[in-house]
Amino acid sequence: MNKTTILCSEINGEGPPLLVIHGFTGDRSTMSSIAEPLSEDYSVVCVDLPGHGETGSNLEPSLFSFEETLSALVEVTDFYGLEEFNLVGYSMGARLSIGLAVMYPDRIKSTILIGATAGISDESERAARRRSDDRLADEIMEKGIEWFVTYWMEQPIFESQKRLPSESLDAFRKQRLKNDIQGLANSLKWVGAGSQPPLWRQLNLISSPTLIMAGEEDTKFRSLAVRLNSGIPRSEIVIVPESGHACHLENPDFTLEAIKVFLEEVS
């Protein structure tokens, strides 16, 4: 593990570089179903986002912001000497991946988005979401990490994960409980969907080939995938069967194979 700027990271494997970004409440271990097998053919860089895993909570709150996190991710790739890299992001990591592809197009060779959105375009809806995220962040601090992890895993978007083996669900819970309570609260407040600048009008700036993935049962993000596809010039959609929002966890074999095929094509 390396401490690169504000983010902790690690690199495994040899070959074309691939940056992998986890979702909210995760850490770099939660992307192992993609990262580990791809490290056989790629140099896979995994990070812990601010407030997650080993990237501590004792950061200035402004360092959690969307723009600062993008800068920190680029600094990680600079640390490893990666002038151009492929990119995989899930959920919050997918939002950040869109930000990277929009703002640093010359650095991105290809982009893979899992459960992605480019933000909330309606100003009043975005403000309402920001207030909701702020309230939840306050509740995390008031009620504690165990309350929050139980609450979070019961969200409707994760309903399809209840089909997974109990040992997998237990592992997901234990991983989430390792996160720092202040770090999760700061992440919600500073890089939640309500705080992110919407990027829908900038999608045409994404020059890299882009694979947009959504679970068959994830109705909301299937619709968002279509909207993303209409805005990103060189993009395609893959719908992952028998899965919801976290298709890389719920149907890892199908998801991994689709990613491998895409990366081989862009290579």
pLDDT digit string, tens, across residues 140-193: 999 999 999 999 999 999 999 999 999 999 999 999 999 999 999 999 999 999
Residue 48's pLDDT is 97
Residue 4's pLDDT is 62
Residue ranges of the chain whose pLDDT lies below 50: none
The maximal CA–CA distance of the chain, rounded, in angstroms, is: 49
- Distance, CA of 124 to CA of 246 (rounded, Å): 28
Extract the tokens encoding 97: 């991946």
Of residues 238, 261, 253, the one with CA closest to residue 37:
253
Do residues 266 and 109 lie in contact, with contact meaning Cβ atoms separated by under 8 Å?
Answer: yes
Residue 77's pLDDT is 97
- Distance, CA of 195 to CA of 62 (rounded, Å): 12
Return the domain boundaries, the chain: 2-121+196-266
Residue 251's pLDDT is 98
Instruction: Report the chain's mean pLDDT, rounded to a whole number.
Output: 96
Residue 145's pLDDT is 96
Residue 3's pLDDT is 63
- Distance, CA of 183 to CA of 180 (rounded, Å): 5
- The model's pTM is 0.97
Residue 1's pLDDT is 63
The CATH label, of 3.40.50.460, 3.40.50.1820, 3.40.630.10, 3.40.50.300, for the domain at 2-121+196-266 is 3.40.50.1820
